[in-house]
Amino acid sequence: MATTIRQIAERAGVSPATVSLVLNGRPGAGAETRDRVLAAASELDYRSRKREREPATRTIRFLRIAKHGQIINPNHRVFIADYIDGLERESRLHRCTLEVTSYEHFYPEEILPSLESGGLAGAIILGTELDEADVEKFRSVRIPLGFIDTYHTSLDFDFVDMNNDSSVLKVVEYLHGQGHRRIGLVKGSVETRNFRLRERSFLESLERFSLAFDPRDLFAIDSTFDQGKATMARLLAGRRDLPSALFCVNDIIAYGCAQALKEAGFSIPGDVSLVGFDDLPANDFMSPPLTSVKVSKHCIGQRAMQFMALRLEDPGRPSEMNLVGGSLVIRDSVRARLDEGTEAR
């Protein structure tokens, strides 16, 4: 049975009228409410419907796949909602219906046949937790496919992803400009493609600024808050010599890292400056507010739907890849230091 607006309203804790505003892209709902409604729509596998006077002629499915839940989990509902918002708004311009389906596992024998059994015109897959071998399995699907939050140059699909290289370079450039000469990295203990790219970009950016990297300043912790905090606490046990700044490969890791640092007696940013990645809304409410990289998930979703519309018109067109750059949102978790290592005024 199709999900109704009333069911979404009950899940999100808002009125049906508010749900209607959000799903139709109209003003009148705050950002937090919009994110909550879109997250509820995703969880309930909502299928949007155009008005009868503007009938949708094609259905595009968005697949949210959580292979291991290290990245695609409840902590990241906000940026999933932003992807859906970008896809939804752009789909209307191309007279398409967006259908959202969530999987808490990756079973190709279940997922792949479903893409060819529902009368779909195409599908856009969230590839955050999928590796190259996983994405390659989709080559057997005969409808047009696109992927967001990943790319693999060896595979003939349309990809839209964030530009990790330029985004991480901005972090190192900013910290260097603030006088930090010893910068550490906090990565995820479960490897993902984005985490690997950010680590590589970080090390390359250090070289660009002639900064050395001490292997002791690499911390691998869990990607969930509670386990990440616990892992970081173990790594900090008995240790007082830390870099003056730490770059965390995403914000949830930064949250766990920050709490562990505080419980170990370090102040932020007095002892250690901290930078995250994703710019989640909670960053403003951290103590201190967290400096982070913001990449427009709305723009990524929008561009992916544009690629899909082009492919529906011309199935034989060459595949394309688009990387969306990020910006650094500066808050209070970074403190300037002089080259000599003393704090700047």
Assess if residue 345 is contained within a domain: no
Contact 161, 149 (CB under 8 A): yes
**DSSP H or E segment with residue 221:** strand 218-221
Same domain, 171 and 316: no
Write out residues in the chain with pLDDT < 70, as ranges. 1-2, 25-27, 47-56, 69-76, 339-345
Residues 39 and 129 in one domain: yes
So what's the pLDDT on residue 317?
93
Burial of 91 (0-12, 13-18, 19+ CB in 10 A): buried
User: For the chain, how many structural domains are there in total?
Assistant: 2
Cross-strand bridge partners of residue 13: none
pLDDT given at position 339: 53
Residues 282 and 315 in one domain: no
Whether 61 and 41 share a structural domain: yes
CATH of the domain at 84: 3.40.50.2300
Q: Which amino acid is at 33?
A: T
3-class DSSP assignment, residue 32: helix
134 in a structural domain: yes
- The Cα 55–Cα 248 span in angstroms is 46
Structural domain range at position 141: 5-162+296-326
Which of 265, 188, 275 lies closest to 227 in space, CA to CA?
188
- Same domain for 188 and 102? no
Residue 188 and residue 100 share a domain: no
Do both 155 and 302 map to the same domain? yes
Q: Are both 211 and 123 inside the same structural domain?
A: no
In a domain, 340, yes or no: no
Q: pLDDT value at position 340? A: 42
Does residue 248 sit within a domain? Answer: yes
SS3 for 236?
helix
